[in-house]
Amino acid sequence: MTWAGFAQQLINGISLGSLYALVAIGYTMVYGILRLINFAHGDFLMVAAYLGIFGLAMFSLPWPVAFLAALAITGLLGALLERGAYRPLRRAPRLSLLISAIGASFLLENLALVFLGGRPLPFPTPAVFAGSFQVAGLYIPRLSLLIPGITLILLAALFVLVSHTRTGMALRALAHDWEATALLGINVNRLISLTFILGSILAGVGGLLWAMKYPQVNPFLGVLPGLKAFIAAVLGGIGNLAGAVVGGLVLGILEVLLVAWFPAWSGYRDAFAFVLLIIVLLASPTGLLGESIMEDKL
């Protein structure tokens, strides 16, 4: 492969990896606080993508309004999911929560299937996000720069929130010791809702960007990116915010390079991610950066 070709693939990989990272953060935050793998998380990509279509195509809103509205509703639905599917099971065995998460995922997918149909809808990508340019012989879609850029800004904001605000302190405390946090009079339920809102909004951003990158939206859009992001979170060390970002990038880049180097294997790109998951779980179950449960400042 030429250097230009490699650079090209690297850009693609970083762009894909950033999307995984955005979604992986939600898995890792919820795991840090509830010790739950929120399997419905990936479906919020799909939710946000459909909401984006409604805003843009049905209501003809300007894209910033449509996107913000889609994200706000996605965040709200995230909090509702916790209220309906997880909070009632707060004192139940962890396995019940997991089953509830899988159920919630099926529910979301099938609600979309019933009400929106199985036929993929085209995503009307706003002009700002479309197009591409050429630099030094490289063909770079505008999105390939926007995706990592947006991801970087959002993650920086999240890290500031977690490590420098009172709310962030409380989140870290909650991840370490639920009872001790409640004993300080801190409204634990509100923090949990906030965790779901933040995670869902990040997944929503991921969903909108995903829908512009691959502009076909169907009810199962979130399944595979969701699973890959989960793998990314495990790869980086679940519960570890920085780990989710590293895991996402590593997975995205490896996946793209694998396909580029071995075009004949491109059909196995998804299988590759799962093989990687199995290897990580066998070799180093706490992932690359270790399972730090959001306690560390970074």
Partner 1 sequence: MLKIINLSAAYGSIPALQDVSLHVPAGQIVALIGANGAGKTTLMRTITGLQSPQTGKIIFRNREIQHLATPEIMRRGLALCPEGRRIFPNLTVQENLILGGYYSPDRRLRRDLAEIYQLFPRLAERQQQRAGTLSGGEQQMLALGRALMSRPHMLLLDEPSLGLAPLLVQEVFKTLARINRRGTTILLVEQNAAAALKLAHYGYVLETGRLSFEGPSHDLLHHPKVRSAYLGE
Nearer to partner 1, 91 or 119 (CB): 91
The one segment of 3-11, 113-121, 170-178, 251-259 that binds partner 1 by CB under 8 A: 170-178
Q: Which of 101, 155, 173, 209 binds partner 1 (CB under 8 A)?
A: 173
Residue 227 interacts with partner 1 (CB under 8 A): yes or no? no
Q: How far is the CB of 90 from partner 1 (least distance, A)?
A: 11
Residue 161 interacts with partner 1 (CB under 8 A): yes or no? no
Residue 93 interacts with partner 1 (CB under 8 A): yes or no? no
Nearer to partner 1, 192 or 197 (CB): 192
The one segment of 44-52, 149-157, 166-174, 256-264 that binds partner 1 by CB under 8 A: 166-174
Nearer to partner 1, 124 or 168 (CB): 168
Q: Tell me the DSSP string of the chain.
A: --HHHHHHHHHHHHHHHHHHHHHHHHHHHHHHHH----TTTTHHHHHHHHHHHIIIIIS---HHHHHHHHHHHHHHHHHHHIIIIIGGGTTS-HHHHHHHHHHHHHHHHHHHHHHH-SSPEEP---GGG--EEEETTEEEEHHHHHHHHHHHHHHHHHHHHHHHSHHHHHHHHHHH-HHHHHTTT--HHHHHHHHHHHHHHHHHHHHHHHHHHS-EE-TTTTHHHHHHHHHHHHHH-TT-HHHHHHHHHHHHHHHHHHHHH-GGGGGGHHHHHHHHHHHHHHH-TTTTT---TT-S--
Nearer to partner 1, 112 or 194 (CB): 194
Q: How far is the CB of 183 from partner 1 (least distance, A)?
A: 5
Residue 177 interacts with partner 1 (CB under 8 A): yes or no? yes
Residue 179 interacts with partner 1 (CB under 8 A): yes or no? yes
Residue 135, phi then psi, degrees to nearest 5: -130, 125
Residue 166 interacts with partner 1 (CB under 8 A): yes or no? yes
Residue 256 interacts with partner 1 (CB under 8 A): yes or no? no
Chain positions 277 to 296 lying near partner 1, rule: CB under 8 A, are 295-296
Q: Which of 41, 172, 213, 228 binds partner 1 (CB under 8 A)?
A: 172
Residues that bind partner 1 (CB under 8 A): 166, 169-170, 172-173, 176-177, 179-188, 295-297
